[in-house]
Amino acid sequence: MFEVSLDVILMIDAADGTVLDANPAATIALGYPLADLIGGSWSRLFNKRYPPYANDVRSAAAGGGTVVLTHRFRHANGRFVPMDLTAILLEPGDETRSGPPAGDTARHQRTTARRHAARGGPAPARSIRA
């Protein structure tokens, strides 16, 4: 569902705001390549003058609630796109909503290797699965 959903899905680390994974709909709607989204801060996706209240989103999601709000997110071309934001808390290892965590997918490993190569650094170690 994660890969084929028409809804924009970003998995964000609630502790520091790092984008952990993004589905293809997110790359289309926001205009960023996957490699530019993953590992970056989600804060660059909103207007600095009108940010979503991250602490409110985190605390509501941490309390088991679902947060829904409409916000304007920054497209790669600089314009702002209104979207509904829904936030829920995923427990570590929770694969019921989006599939395996990004770090366990071959796609993520390829993306990470390309990003490291583009920066001139060594590729990260890859996990081997039977």
Of residues 77 and 10, more confidence is placed in 77
| Sign of the C-alpha dihedral computed for residues 19, 23, 71 and 57 taken in this order | negative
**Residue 15: what pLDDT?**
77
| Fold type of domain 10-118 | Beta-Lactamase (3.30.450)
CA–CA separation, 69 vs 36, rounded Å?
A: 25
**Placement of tokens 């509501």 in the chain:** 60
**Cα 37 to chain center, whole Å?**
7
For 11-52, write each residue's pLDDT tens digit.
888 778 889 899 999 999 999 999 999 999 988 887 777 766
CA–CA separation, 106 vs 116, rounded Å?
A: 15
**Residue 118: what pLDDT?**
61
Residue type, 106: A
Give residue limits of the domains in the chain: 10-118
For 28-38, write each residue's pLDDT tens digit.
999 999 999 99
CA–CA separation, 108 vs 90, rounded Å?
A: 19
CA–CA separation, 60 vs 10, rounded Å?
A: 17
Summary mean pLDDT of the chain: 73
